Amino acid sequence: MLKQIYNAAPTNPVQGLDIVRIGVALIILMHPLHGFWDYENIGTNLGGYLTDLGYPMGVALAWLVLIVQTLSSLALITNRAVITAASATS
């Protein structure tokens, strides 16, 4: 019985990659969602830090990063534009 289980061919080999893709997307999605709930610190902490580094419009850039991370994670979950979304989240 155990030998049959170990020698069984997978019915859908892509399913494992789907589980990993969705799991990673959910982990990445937690970061921007935390930023949306703690939106007051986005302007002062991250936006101020980016401005201190010399980036123009640091607060707008911080919000842009949060929006891109959110949309890319949702695209990974729904399996749409996976290559573009994966490159945008990294």
Map residue 63 onto helix, strand or coil.
helix
5 token code pair: 């289980």
pLDDT confidence bin for 53, thresholds 50/70/90: very high
CA 20 – CA 33 distance, rounded (Å): 20
Report how far Cα 28 is from the mean position of its chain's Cα atoms: 3
CA 71 – CA 28 distance, rounded (Å): 11
Token pair 């990673």 is at which residue? 24
Mean pLDDT over 39-57 rounds to: 83
Q: What's the pTM?
A: 0.71
Tell me how many degrees the CA angle 77-88-61 measures, rounded to the nearest 5. Answer: 120
Q: List pLDDT tens digits, range 56-77.
A: 988 898 888 889 889 988 998 8
